[in-house]
Amino acid sequence: MKSLHSYIGGRFVPGKRGFADINPADGSVAATVTEASAEMVDEAVAAARKALHGEWGKLGARGRATVLYKIAEGIEKRFDCFVQAEVADTGKPLSLASRLDVPRAAANFRVFADVIKIAGLEAFETELPDGRRALNYTVRKPIGVVGIVTPWNLPLLLLTWKVAPALACGNAVVVKPSEETPATATLLAEVMQEAGVPDGVYNVVHGFGPNSAGEFLVSHPGVNAVTFTGESQTGASIMRACAPTVKPVSFELGGKNAAVIFADCDFDATIAGMSDAVFLNTGQVCLCAERVYVERRIFDRFVAALTERAKSYDLGWPMEPATSMGPLISKVHREKVLSYFDLAREEGATVVIGGGVPTFGDGRDSGFYVQPTIFTGLKESARCVKEEIFGPVCHVAPFDSEEEAVALANDTRYGLAASIWTSDLQRAHRVAPQMNAGITWVNCWFLRDLRTPFGGVGLSGIGREGGMHSLNFYSELNNICIRT
């Protein structure tokens, strides 16, 4: 059985307590993981601090970009190992990990290597009352030791989304991957070694959140900034932990995303897009649409077509090439999702399809699969319409006017992503900016350009990452003013 250990100062360091890394496809133990103690988190932070004062701290942006390209190549060289590790930890289909998670991890390093190489700096010439001038210019410096805490749904993709820009800016990082998905962060440590990343620049501490490695990291006085992706409530706890030392935070949190489908949409393309938007990664993408609003004229046709799509998913073993939907991440998470399925019924939903657990007659019955599920008929005030479920499920409701659709979509305390489906260009331009969200897609979903701002409003987060926005979070600007 494989043992996964923390990675501190360039060495794999076992912790005293172990816990199991479960394969969600059949509930088997994929690996054992050793938990980092408070002392180990101290050591990781100290190793990161030391690295900032060593050769890493002296490397310029071009030198760091070269290292980032090597990391990208290292991920690609071990492509199959990363895919297998991600599939074993998450249960996501092989096809998805190969198409999305692992290629995006390499792309994250390449894009931020490119971004740091071309990033300019601000300069202003200031005219003074006495006729003299001052030149103001900014220099970009690393923020220091960055604590990175990540979730289980897109483990490597989301981890590298933060590690890459943090390293591009010259920081050292201590990452705390989700306890559910520790493997790829650990494998990345080997890639870092091979790419010549100096010891202490990339550290991994394994463990849980409260009273474990996660809390020890985010409350550590030696950590200069915290970037976190995960649940909104966890974000609130982390914010409290960061308050005493006034650490800057970047939060990518939960969502209850809306999709608005107008009758003039390209129907087949919309159904294909919405099928991904609801069911990709078993609905465990923060950007997934759990609230779908459809113009009444095409409501029945839409529900019927999305139902056909839901039926077409192959809930196979994750490593089978034909599998198109894997299990949920854990027993606990499945209980949560199923409790929402029960709640939806209590709240008066019509179950169009799904709503339960599939049976297979093999090892998958010990895994954490659920059926792709569509509800209709709920009131807008229902908890199932208001709260994030994070499973392969949506509620579909009709609307009659554009104004009503906008109001329904915006009636949420979250605000991560929205999608609009229409072939009326003017309508798209009119409606998209009205969405109370950080990202609005028109006639597409999860189409990403890594230079663009990514983040949410309300309960969905604080700040934006992506392109220059990431550089601004992961660096401190020093404005230098010289009177000439």
Using CA atoms, how far apart are residues 377 and 259, in angstroms rounded to an integer? 17
**Helix count and strand count (H, E) for the chain:** 17, 21
Greatest pairwise CA separation for the chain in angstroms: 86
Q: Give the range of 94-102, 223-231, 343-351, 393-401 binding ligand NAD by CB under 6 A.
A: 223-231
Contact 203, 225 (CB under 8 A): no
Using CA atoms, how far apart are residues 456 and 429, in angstroms rounded to an integer? 20
Burial class (CB in 10 A: 0-12, 13-18, 19+), 9: middle
Write down the residue that tokens 């069911």 correspond to.
Answer: 279
Q: Give the range of 130-138, 203-211, 339-347, 442-450 binding ligand NAD by CB under 6 A.
A: 203-211
85: which strand partners? none
Contact 71, 195 (CB under 8 A): yes
The sign of the dihedral angle between the CA atoms of 99, 102, 103, 104 is positive
The 12-51 site mask, x for binding ligand NAD (CB under 6 A), equals: ----------------------------------------
> Contacting ligand NAD (CB under 6 A), which of 274, 324, 388, 394?
388
DSSP for residue 101: I
Query: Least distance (Å) from ligand NAD to the CB of residue 339?
Result: 15
Q: What is the token pair recorded at 74?
A: 């290292």
Q: Rg of the chain over CA atoms, in angstroms?
A: 23
Using CA atoms, how far apart are residues 181 and 336, in angstroms rounded to an integer? 19
Residue closer to ligand NAD (CB basis): 129 or 210: 210
Of residues 13, 59, 52, 451, the one with CA closest to residue 225: 52
Q: What is the token pair recorded at 449?
A: 């350009």
Residue closer to ligand NAD (CB basis): 44 or 405: 44
Name the catalytic one among 179, 252, 347, 388: 252
> Contacting ligand NAD (CB under 6 A), which of 95, 237, 423, 434?
237
Indicate whether 178 belongs to the interface with ligand NAD (CB under 6 A). Answer: yes
- Please report, as residue ranges, which positions from 422 to 461 form the binding site for ligand NAD (by CB under 6 A): 456, 460-461
Contact 484, 128 (CB under 8 A): no
Query: Least distance (Å) from ligand NAD to the CB of residue 99?
Result: 18
Query: Least distance (Å) from ligand NAD to the CB of residue 85?
Result: 17
Using CA atoms, how far apart are residues 26 and 31, in angstroms rounded to an integer? 14
- Please report, as residue ranges, which positions from 141 to 160 form the binding site for ligand NAD (by CB under 6 A): 149-153, 158
Indicate whether 419 belongs to the interface with ligand NAD (CB under 6 A). Answer: no
Indicate whether 199 belongs to the interface with ligand NAD (CB under 6 A). Answer: no
The 338-377 site mask, x for binding ligand NAD (CB under 6 A), equals: ----------------------------------------
> Contacting ligand NAD (CB under 6 A), which of 234, 257, 270, 436?
234
> Contacting ligand NAD (CB under 6 A), which of 67, 159, 258, 416?
416
73 is catalytic: no
Binding region for ligand NAD (CB under 6 A):
149-153, 158, 176, 178-179, 208-210, 214-215, 218, 229-231, 234, 237-238, 252-255, 286, 388, 390, 416, 456, 460-461
Catalytic residues: 252
